[in-house]
Amino acid sequence: MQASLARPTRFAALRHRNFMLLWVGVIVSNIGTWMQNVGQSWQVLQLTDSPLWLGLLGLSFAVPMVILPLVGGAVVDRAPRIRLLYFTQIGLMLIAFALAALTWLGAVSVWHILLASFLGSALLAFDNPARQALVYDLVPSEDMLSALSLNAATYNGAALIGPALAGMLLAPFGAAMLFFVNGLSFLAVLFALAAMRAVRSQGSAAPASLGAAMRAGLAYVGRTRFVLGLLSLSALTAVFGRSYQSLLPVFARDIWHAGPTGYGLLLSAAGAGALVGAFGLAARGRIRRQGAAMIACGLMFALLIALFALSPSFVPGIVLLFLTGGVATVFGTIIATELQLTSPNELRGRVMSLYAITLIGLPSLGALGVGGLAERLGGLSGAPRAVLAGGAAMGLIMLVAAPSLWRHDRSRSA
């Protein structure tokens, strides 16, 4: 009897150990990814002096992340997830090294940067759903909100360190060093995957063609109103709320004259806020009225973006981005938790792939819109007004969504 009770306890501990291995590996890798993002954006601005080209950089990332994640989700639901992660992480590492080599040789052009962004996004369309679905295999369901809070910190929290390092290294060593460090950072995930033990990483979907699997995922979302509503809210928030990041190089260089170090600090401020939000939510464990929390965080997110756009100087901008990072992380994590717990295992990869589109793909697609709007409003000087318009649109979206989220809270407590 004692042995039978001990086995689940040991297994739960092992699953938590595997999660922490992955968490540490991914946060190291994402520090490198943030460094590469800083290098790419700064290099594009230096080569073109155009916010529209920054929008095109976002578009090059957005197209694969809008088109491919559902394919990736269908693969994740029936393929060994850890083996798939080996493939994607090695591919991302090789892209970073290739971009570093081209830059060091003085042969890099804006088209090379856009192509690297496109190929990296295509791999991420498989990588992100695999990592999101794997979390459910690594922790018990009662710990899901805490685990996903920490999972959110792997990307947003890495922005605390990655951009600051990038800002310090960019001027003396150039963008090539940032790309090279990113390539090395993928080794942390590969070592973590190799160290995992006793992980159920195989999706349980029934054998079917990729087309049928994707249609089944879309059909589930279409008939599950709550899941469809959460994904729609995440999508609209991504386009109008999260796309402001593409114009941060303009704020740093041309609006507040803070240079590459200032650009890194702006990103780091948002990352620090995200880290505080993630750990605070992880410590709390559960939120009873999650719909009300989403309404509050979404409206605050919109207000903070608008205030950032109106900020007269660099220091208030840093403070506002810190607060923005915190509320955005709480907002997104609550949505991710609801999606994970609502979706059955055989469809979880596909549902989380659609969430990946909203979380990663659509902000980059929105970057093209906000970059084009800034261009129409005066070029570099139009960036604040473009960001302000996005914040106002997000506020209206949250006001429209608020009654449905409030009703969901009431039906759950009834």
pLDDT of residue 17: 76
Confidence of residue 4 (pLDDT cuts 50, 70, 90): very low
**What percent of the chain has pLDDT above 90?**
20
pLDDT at position 184: 95
Q: Which of 359, 398, 351 is closest to 234 using CA atoms? A: 359
Can you give the pLDDT at residue 1?
A: 34
Q: What angle do CA 133, 279, 392 make, to 5 degrees?
A: 85
Taking the CA atoms of the chain, what radius of gyration do you get in angstroms? 21
Give residue 156's pLDDT.
65
**CA pair distance 76, 69, nearest whole angstrom:** 10
Q: pLDDT for 372-408, tens place per residue?
A: 888 888 878 888 899 999 899 989 999 988 888 887 7
Model confidence over 291-314: pLDDT tens digits?
788 888 889 999 999 999 999 889
The token pair that represents 319 in the structure block:
């403070």
Q: What are the pLDDT digits (tens) for 170-199?
A: 888 888 999 999 999 999 999 988 887 766
Taking alpha carbons only, the member of 275, 267, 324, 269 closest to residue 301 is 324
Q: Is the pLDDT of residue 55 over 70?
A: yes
Q: Please, are residues 333 and 149 in contact by the beta-carbon 8 Å criterion?
A: yes
Helix (H) or strand (E) holding 393: helix 383-413
pLDDT in tens, 63-87: 888 888 878 878 877 778 888 899 9
Q: Which residue has the tokens 């029936």?
A: 78
Per the CB < 8 A criterion, the answer to whether 86 and 189 are in contact is no
- Are the C-beta atoms of residues 22 and 132 closer than 8 Å to each other? no
Number of H helices, E strands in the chain: 17, 0
Alpha-carbon span 57 to 371, nearest angstrom = 10
Place of tokens 């990592």: 131
> What stretch of H or E contains 143?
none
Q: Which residues of 292-309 are buried (b: 16+ CB within 10 A; e: fewer)?
A: bbbbbbbbbbbbbbbbbb
At residue 2, the pLDDT reads 38
Candidate from 53-57, 145-149, 194-198, 264-268 with smallest mean pLDDT: 145-149
Q: For the chain, which domains are there?
A: 2-197+207-413 (1.20.1250.20)
Lowest mean pLDDT among 26-30, 43-47, 197-201, 347-351: 197-201
Specify the range with the lowest mean pLDDT, choosing from 202-211, 221-230, 241-250.
202-211
Asked whether residue 8 carries a pLDDT value surpassing 60, the answer given is no
User: Phi and psi dihedrals of 196, rounded to 5?
Assistant: -70, 150
Q: pLDDT averaged over the chain?
A: 82
Q: Which helix (H) or strand (E) holds 224?
A: none
Average pLDDT over residues 318-324: 92
User: How many CB atoms neighbour CB 178 within 10 A?
Assistant: 29
Query: CA-to-CA distance for 199 and 82, rounded, in angstroms?
Result: 9
Whether the pLDDT of residue 151 is over 60: the answer is yes
291 CB-near residues (< 8 Å, 6+ apart): 405, 406, 407, 408, 409
Residue found by looking up tokens 């996005």 in the block: 390
Instruction: Tell me what the mean pLDDT of segment 266-278 comes to.
Output: 81
Instruction: Please give the average per-residue pLDDT across 83-96, as a whole number.
Output: 93
